Structure 1
Amino acid sequence: MKVIIVVSGHELPTEITRQETVLEIKQRLEQFLGIPISSQTLAVYGLELVDGLDMDDYPIITEGTKIHLTIEATDYPPSNGYSKMQVVVKFPTRKINVQVDQTETVHSLKEKIHILEGTPIPRMSLFFSGTELEDDFRSLTEYGVGESSEIVVFLKNISRQRHEPPSRRLGIVVQTSSSLLNAATIPLEMKDTCTVGDLRQMLLSRKILPADDYIFIHKQRLMRCDCSLRWHGVENGETLYVFRGTVTRGSL
């Protein structure tokens, strides 16, 4: 399909496939425009596209969609002495490579894993060299994590009866795309145990949205209709984005 890369006021028509990843598109732009991958940020409707995801993860990207390219000025080597590195995140049945900053914290790594894999943050325990990495303000390098280090993810079984905290009310903001209600910003209150389906039904019943199929996005990740806001890691004051469309991939 053909999309439009918008950079510095210029439009660059580009052919891509549904299986092409965001990182692969950045690699092509680096070859064509000479812009280093580390300096590129791609976004659609204000949502930053994540390197590890492909176009099938973004059903909002269709024929003719405009993808905005922002170029960040960087120093080579970085003036602060810090650089990026690849770590290997190991699940029970698979491994993924994740790019992190040397100053990145354990919690921010969990957020990246959540974006890439959809794993709920409260269920994750991360281990490196047999030691659990605590959710504190220490960086990964302070734990001895370096280039190509292997970090193991253990998933905690959370008992609803004994371990799950009581539901709490969240103040969230629902941001619609420009094709819906002229990019409206809608403040709402919901329990964190409510599902995305409950949220959709609320918006329809209050006639905030017309009857149609919609997808919801939190932190650049498609949300599952039958999973709760808590499961997705939604926190008080955060913004959810809604677009008209459906998700057909079996894993979502």
Structure 2
Amino acid sequence: MRIIIATEINQFFIEVGTLETVLEIKRKIEQIHAIPVAYQILTVCGFELLDGLDMEDYPIVSEGTKIDLTIKPMEPHIIHHPNKMQITVKFSARLINIEVDKTDTVHSLKEKIHIIDNTPIKSMKLFFLGRELNEDFRNLNEYGIREFSEIIVFLKTTNRTKEPPTRKLSFVLQTSSSLLNAATIPLEMKDTSTVNDLKQLLLSRKILPVDDYLFIHRQRIMRDSCSLRWHGVENGDQLYVFKGTVSRSGYV
């Protein structure tokens, strides 16, 4: 499909495939316009496009979509090792920042967390963008983890079948410009509530008219049958709602 890449001073067209990753698109831009990949930030509708994802992960991107390209200022005096990156590890009540290698495995990340925070490795369950990092020997970059990514840590109990206690979440739902004049709606739900529960709540309160909707959290489409906890939603987070459905061919 043909999309528009817009900078502050001009815009140009580029052909991309639905299975092309954001990183591959950035490389095309680098080849054509000599803008280094490391200094490119691509956004659409306020969402930053993440390097490890492809166009099928962003159903709001279709033929003729305009993607904004922001060029980060180059700072030659800062020396940054190309294989190192800073990530944030988030517990229920605290945050820690960790420097990792892009080739680090999930298990080596758990070891670093253990060294810094003394959390038992066997007690950790790590999540990124709602997806559990459940294969210890996969590299972090295989999960799409990059500079400044946020990893959420759940701690297992001694009873492996026991889930963390249910808690209430306060979050904000932002509608698109085609819904309710881009309203901001504060909501409170249990973290075990599913996205479908959220949808039914909005319909029952007549906040949204009866229609098909999809929800987005941290640049990822949310699954109807999965809970807010599964998606990594935390207090104060912002969710977005758009009209439409997701099919194999993209956003409908």
Does the pair score TM above 0.5? yes
Residue 181 (structure 1) shift:
2.2
Residue 228 (structure 1) shift:
0.3
In the other structure, the counterpart of 1:26 is 26
Counting only pairs closer than 5 Å after superposition, residues 17-166 of structure 1 correspond to structure 2 as: 17-76=17-76, 79-85=77-83, 101=85, 103-105=86-88, 126-128=106-108, 131=111, 133-134=113-114, 136=116, 152=137, 163-166=162-165
Query: What secondary structure, in the 3-state scheme, does the structure 2 residue paired with 1:134 have?
Result: helix
Change (3 A) 1:161 1:203: farther
Structure 1: how far apart are the matches of 2:38 and 2:78?
15
The CA deviation string for residues 129-162 of structure 1, in whole angstroms up to 9 with x for no partner, is 9946339579xxxxxxxxxxxx636x99889985
Q: TM-score, normalised by structure 1?
A: 0.71
Tell me which amino acid in the other structure corresponds to 1:163.
K
Q: Is the 8 A contact 1:106 1:136 kept in 2?
A: no
Structure 1: how far apart are the matches of 2:66 and 2:236?
28
Structure 2: how far apart are the matches of 1:236 and 1:177?
21
- Structure 1 regions of 5+ residues with no counterpart? 86-99, 110-124, 139-150
Of stretches 127-136 and 21-30 in structure 1, the one that deviates more from structure 2 is 127-136
Change (3 A) 1:160 1:16: farther
RMSD of Structure 2 on Structure 1 (CA) = 3.4
The CA deviation string for residues 18-50 of structure 1, in whole angstroms up to 9 with x for no partner, is 111111111111111211111111111111111
Counting only pairs closer than 5 Å after superposition, residues 200-239 of structure 1 correspond to structure 2 as: 200-239=199-238
Structure 1: how far apart are the matches of 2:195 and 2:109?
38
Q: Is the 8 A contact 1:59 1:245 kept in 2?
A: no
Tell me which amino acid in the other structure corresponds to 1:164.
E
In the other structure, the counterpart of 2:125 is none
Aligned length: 207
Q: Is the 8 A contact 1:5 1:12 kept in 2?
A: yes
Structure 1: how far apart are the matches of 2:214 and 2:159?
27
- Structure 2 regions of 5+ residues with no counterpart? 97-104, 119-135, 139-153
Q: Is the 8 A contact 1:26 1:37 kept in 2?
A: yes
Q: Identity of counterpart residues, as a percentage?
A: 52
Q: Is the 8 A contact 1:177 1:243 kept in 2?
A: yes
In the other structure, the counterpart of 1:175 is 174
Q: TM-score, normalised by structure 2?
A: 0.71
Query: What secondary structure, in the 3-state scheme, does the structure 2 residue paired with 1:127 have?
Result: helix
Q: Is the 8 A contact 1:106 1:135 kept in 2?
A: no
Q: Is the 8 A contact 1:127 1:133 kept in 2?
A: no
